[in-house]
Structure 1
Amino acid sequence: MTISSQSARDLTANITALSDKSVALMHQRSMSDEAVTTFQNILQKVQEIHDPKAALRSLSAEELDVVRQAHSLAESINISVLSDEGAANLLNAPGHTKDLNNDGLTTIGEGNMLTFPPDNAPASFKAAWEEASDGLSTMDIPTHMIFAVGLANIGREPGDLNWVNPYASPDYDYGAAVSEIIESVEYQYNHNMMSFEQYQKNMSFYNTLTEALA
């Protein structure tokens, strides 16, 4: 899947303001205040260059390394192998990257991350998910919906022509999906396929999510 030049422009048009979330993420990545300021200056420097790869090529080696640090990349940035989305997201603030080609993954540099809730999900579902997951550790949040993209693409690689994003449609019915998951959890517990503790955790989360969606 590819992204349009308009999508890239939409992303690079609003990248210069760093939110508290972005700054906190960069500090967690051991970036100094000076390095954070340098990253913000980089975003301001390239905001009029609407081709993300060209924007990256305009940076010095030192500036590219600051971009690498901002996004916590292990390897140096190799612009020649980046997808349009991977390049564009390097020029966005950490924590605000986007799934531009709607494949269910967020590509940052060369890396792919599962995106959930999906970028195209309704604001109401995103708010409900945030409410249901508030205060929970990553380990306590059920993964049925989070890993749906990966499970739908076993044996495939991102970029394959037959890659599937279950959440691609803007009309995807999240409420119905949650109801189906609850039925599945009930079935697994009733057939001794799930412990009572896991059953309780799953049902508590999905019941809260259902109420938040109401």
Structure 2
Amino acid sequence: MTISSQSSRDVTANIATLSDKSVALMHQRKMSDDAVETFQSILQKVQQTNDPKAALRSLSADELDIVRQAHSLAEPINISVLSDEGAANLLTAPGHTRDLNNDGLTTIGEGNMLTFPPDNAPASFKAAWEEASDGLSIMDIPTHMIFAVGLANIGREPSDPNWVNPYASPDYDYGAAVSEIIESVEYQYNHSMISFEQYQKNMSFYNKLTDAMA
């Protein structure tokens, strides 16, 4: 999947001022205030660039390393192997990266991360998910919806032409999906496939999510 030049522009637009979320993430990554300011200057310098790879090539080695630190990458940035999305997200403030090609993954540099709720999900569902998951640790949030992209592509790599994103359609019915999951959880519990504790945890979350979506 590819992204348009407009999408590349979108991801590097209006980023001259870092959000509190971005600054907090960079501080968590042990970046100094000076390094954070340098990263902001880099974003200001490239925000009108239409080609994120060309923008990365315009940076000095020290600036590229600041970008690496900002996104907590273990290895130096190798521009030649980056996808358009991977390059564009390096020039985006941490916490605001996006799934530009709508494959269900957010590519930052060479790395892919599952994106949930998906970028193209309705704002109402994103708000409902945030409400239902508020205060929960990652271990307490059921993974049925989060890992749907991975489960749909077992044995495939993101570059595979048969890669699918279950959430790709803007008309995807999240309400129906949640209802189907609740039915599945009920079935699993009634057939002794999950414990009562797991059943309660799953049902509590999905009932809360259903209420938040109403």
Q: TM-score, normalised to structure 2's length?
A: 0.99
1:46 to partner: Cα distance: 1.1
Q: Aligned pair 1:66/2:66, yes or no? A: yes
1:105-128 per-residue CA deviation (whole Å, 9 max, x = no partner) reads 000000000000000000000000
1:47 to partner: Cα distance: 1.4
1:15 to partner: Cα distance: 2.2
1:48 to partner: Cα distance: 2.1
Query: Match of 1:106, SS?
Result: strand
After TM superposition, the structure 1 = structure 2 runs for residues 115-130 of structure 1, keeping only pairs within 5 Å, are: 115-130=115-130
1:26-85 per-residue CA deviation (whole Å, 9 max, x = no partner) reads 000000111000000000011122100000000000000000000000000000000000
| Partner residue, 1:202 | 202
Tell whether the 8 Å contact from 2:2 to 2:84 is kept in structure 1 after alignment: yes
| Partner residue, 1:24 | 24
Determine what percentage of the aligned residue pairs are the same residue.
89
| Partner residue, 2:39 | 39
Distance in 1 between residues matched to 2:50 and 2:56, nearest whole Å: 11
Query: Match of 1:45, SS?
Result: helix
Deviates more, 1:2-11 or 1:164-173: 2-11
Deviates more, 1:6-15 or 1:196-205: 6-15
Distance in 2 between residues matched to 1:13 and 1:24, nearest whole Å: 21
| Partner residue, 2:167 | 167
- RMSD over aligned Cα atoms: 0.5
| Partner residue, 2:75 | 75
Tell whether the 8 Å contact from 2:9 to 2:48 is kept in structure 1 after alignment: no
Runs of 4+ in structure 1 displaced over 6 angstroms? none
Q: Aligned pair 1:53/2:50, yes or no? A: no
Tell whether the 8 Å contact from 1:141 to 1:205 is kept in structure 2 after alignment: yes
Deviates more, 1:107-116 or 1:40-49: 40-49
Paired residues, number: 214
Tell whether the 8 Å contact from 2:104 to 2:114 is kept in structure 1 after alignment: yes
Distance in 2 between residues matched to 1:193 and 1:5, nearest whole Å: 48
| Partner residue, 1:184 | 184
Query: Match of 2:72, SS?
Result: coil
| Partner residue, 1:144 | 144
Flag structure 2 segments of 5+ consecutive residues without an equivalent: none
Tell whether the 8 Å contact from 1:15 to 1:91 is kept in structure 2 after alignment: no
Flag structure 1 segments of 5+ consecutive residues without an equivalent: none
